[in-house]
Amino acid sequence: VPVFLFVAAPYIRRYVAGGRCKSTARLEGKVVIITGANTGIGKETARDLAQRGKVIIACRDTAKGEAAASEIQAETGNQQVIVKKLDLADTKSIREFAEKFLAEEKELHILINNAGVMLCPYSKTADGFEMHLGVNHLGHFLLTFLLLERLKQCAPARIVNVSSLAHHGGRIRFHDLQGEKSYNRGLAYCHSKLANVLFTRELARRLQGKFQRRAEFTANALHPGSVYSELVRHSFVLTWLWKIFSFFLKTPREGAQTSIYCAVAEELDSVTGQYFSDCQPAYISPRGRNDETAKKLWSVSCELLGIQWE
């Protein structure tokens, strides 16, 4: 068995690594925002895109963000890797981030909603939203709303939402959206990832109606794969299992490939409302294809955030 594993190891790793973004597209003169790019796949996405254009690292922990930015600047030679404070668990912080960004930056071409929380014990955001729903869905929903006009002005533009295969286990429980009646942290994560898929679907539908040419504006979602990262830090068991089976998990750089692909691949210029994994289209659960649920989630999200987004 050890000999077999030694011989098979390179093939296993190649299979685990999955798809790779082969696009050499440049982003000169373009600006990218990546949420949660101070660590994990967000950081690796920023590392790649910094070789192509200007990158804004939007994160809660600015000390980690500055360390990541310095590392990427040194590696790529691109000094246009900038850190801005953004706490997706606080709508005040989201609004402040957007206000400062719009005042300081005149361009925005790609928004990658990457940040997320996973398997949190029951807790609420500053605005009283259940943490998974509040950060993974509502935080990015509000951020996208606040930046949408700037993206429109700079079209062609792309919005990339990092979801997960876990969306297959989710459902939108409108009767208990905040998990106050019953709560399971694993399911709460799944629900929020389904919300990402439905948000992408409805956003793409609405944008398509606003632009005659689909290539002007696209919104797509993706599954990065099972990645060895800090995302499982709230679960002792998963942290332990992740360490034991790390050989069978993607590295953050491998996990970032589909995010990069959705952000820059030329063949996706006119593709919108889709879901990708390993740099290719992937199957969406029936619940993730329910247009009525997507429309209702949009409406409820606007109500919760106190915004009007027609």
Q: Can you give the pLDDT at residue 251? A: 86
Annotated catalytic residue within 11, 122, 183, 189: 189
Question: Which amino acid does the sequence have at 83?
Answer: V
Q: Cβ distance 252 to 41 under 8 Å?
A: yes
Whether 99 is covered by a domain: the verdict is yes
Q: Cβ distance 270 to 218 under 8 Å?
A: yes
275 is an active site residue: no
Q: Cβ distance 25 to 49 under 8 Å?
A: no
Whether 300 is covered by a domain: the verdict is yes
Whether 18 is covered by a domain: the verdict is no
Q: What is the CATH number of the domain that holds 241?
A: 3.40.50.720
Please report the DSSP string for 74-105 in residue order.
HHH----EEEEE--TT-HHHHHHHHHHHHHH-
Compute the C-alpha angle 53/79/101, nearest 5°.
70
pLDDT digits (tens, 9 = 90+) for 141-193: 999 999 999 999 999 999 999 999 999 999 999 999 999 999 999 999 999 99
Phi (first) and psi of residue 106, to 5 degrees: -95, -10
* Dist. CA 67–CA 191, nearest whole Å: 32
Q: Cβ distance 218 to 272 under 8 Å?
A: yes
pTM, two decimal places? 0.91
The string over 225-254, giving b where at least 16 C-beta atoms fall within 10 Å of a residue's C-beta and e elsewhere, is bbbbbebbebbeeeeeebeeeeeebbbbbb
Whether 14 is covered by a domain: the verdict is no
Q: Can you give the pLDDT at residue 248? A: 56
Q: Can you give the pLDDT at residue 5? A: 45
Largest Cα span, the chain: 62
Whether 269 is covered by a domain: the verdict is yes
Whether 6 is covered by a domain: the verdict is no
**Residue numbers in the chain where pLDDT is lower than 70:** 1-17, 209-215, 227-248
Q: Cβ distance 165 to 224 under 8 Å?
A: no
Q: Cβ distance 44 to 66 under 8 Å?
A: no
Whether 116 is covered by a domain: the verdict is yes
Beta bridge partners of 222: 162, 276
Specify the 3-state DSSP secondary structure of 248. helix
Whether 7 is covered by a domain: the verdict is no
Q: Domain tally for the chain?
A: 1
Structural domain range at position 235 = 29-305
Q: Can you give the pLDDT at residue 19? A: 87
